[in-house]
Structure 1
């Protein structure tokens, strides 16, 4: 299936290449590698490159170029999925967080699981959310936090006040919401819980309005 991948990677520096490739492999996204002398296959629709290499490729107008620099590497999977769907923006991002000793994170773009993670450090979770919201990838973003454990819930909520203008809800986890099995297939249990939280309406909070 690699030959049919609609996503390609080009980097002149080995370190840049393996950084990008690592992010794609962690999310199971198929891709092919480009070299300067390799013709771009006609089925490729998205090319990921380090910003320093962006001017080295000549691409047809129908191919989307994603430039990566610094911390942007964490958003490669979600940006790639957005581009592969032929969209400039998601209509809605639902961000589910399952608080606990480890926090599960699920990001649903127009009800498709586009990124996820498990965090032991709330600071790292907050850093990811800062990157995600700063990238402006959707018309609307709603963060939903599970309320099962008040201690862990409050630990997560305490990291959110600096996210100005973001809608935040606390979700009652006592009644599970049904999700399509394909949406949570193969993901860690904390992430599966975060998906369910993202899909369930909660009680609205107001942060720094």
Structure 2
């Protein structure tokens, strides 16, 4: 679920004459709720927007804006949004990936990259959540990767952490957060899905017990 966009103030140009890449670029930007301009490759050098999506074959040697090619389309939409944010970052924000998880029957997720929320979602099983989070961990080149999980349902929390250790073959920081401190802030969110997602966001703002999780290939 991609309910928000951190790129709402950006202008992105889609510059290709090839039908398939154009359709895929546009589809991804619509998932991310990002506005775009349709360009011809010859208009790239004069484009005044923030970023350009095009094919390697149609890309000019020089451009005023960052360029991403069609190979980016193999990534998860959340990862794509994170890569764009990284390319456009002014250097004032920490290169940090922060993921908040509210465990329960329905699992809330909030993902922040370079200080911007790039996903707020809801997942039905620890397996689906772990598979998705592993893609994000593997797809974004953050200097620090921190996962904060609420302690309200330790059975689900343990499932998620075990699955992440199996799915993601590198280290990350894991922090258990007291969910009770988020209750007052979310009492006005009556819909259960909204409450779970907002709880995940507030979990990212709380401090808890932190430890490093090493991949099983290094720990045996």
TM bucket (normalised to shorter chain) is 0.7 to 0.9
Gaps of 5+ in 1: 180-186
Q: Deviations over 1:110-131 (max 9, x none)?
A: 3321233322243333233233
Contact 1:144-1:168 at 8 Å conserved across structures: yes
1:115-194 alignment, distance < 5 Å: 115-162=119-166, 163=168, 164-176=170-182, 188-194=194-200
Q: Deviations over 1:68-109 (max 9, x none)?
A: 43531422222222223345x952121111122222221112
Question: What is the aligned-residue RMSD (CA, Å)?
Answer: 3.0
Contact 1:54-1:67 at 8 Å conserved across structures: yes
**Following TM superposition, by how much is the alpha carbon of 1:150 offset from its aligned partner in structure 2, in angstroms?**
2.0
Cα distance change of structure 1 residues 37 and 67 upon mapping to structure 2, 3 Å threshold: closer
Gaps of 5+ in 2: 1-8, 186-192
1:111 matched to 2:111? The reply is no
1:21-36 alignment, distance < 5 Å: 21-36=26-41
State TM-score, norm by structure 1.
0.77
* Counterpart-to-counterpart distance in 1, 2:198 and 2:59: 39
* Counterpart-to-counterpart distance in 2, 1:125 and 1:12: 37
State TM-score, norm by structure 2.
0.73
* Matching residue within 57, 60, 80 for 1:58: 60
Q: What secondary structure sits across from 1:118 in the alignment?
A: strand
Contact 1:105-1:116 at 8 Å conserved across structures: yes
User: If each structure's helix is expressed as a fraction of its own residues, which one has the higher value?
Assistant: 2
**Following TM superposition, by how much is the alpha carbon of 1:54 offset from its aligned partner in structure 2, in angstroms?**
1.6
Number of residue pairs aligned between Structure 1 and Structure 2 = 196
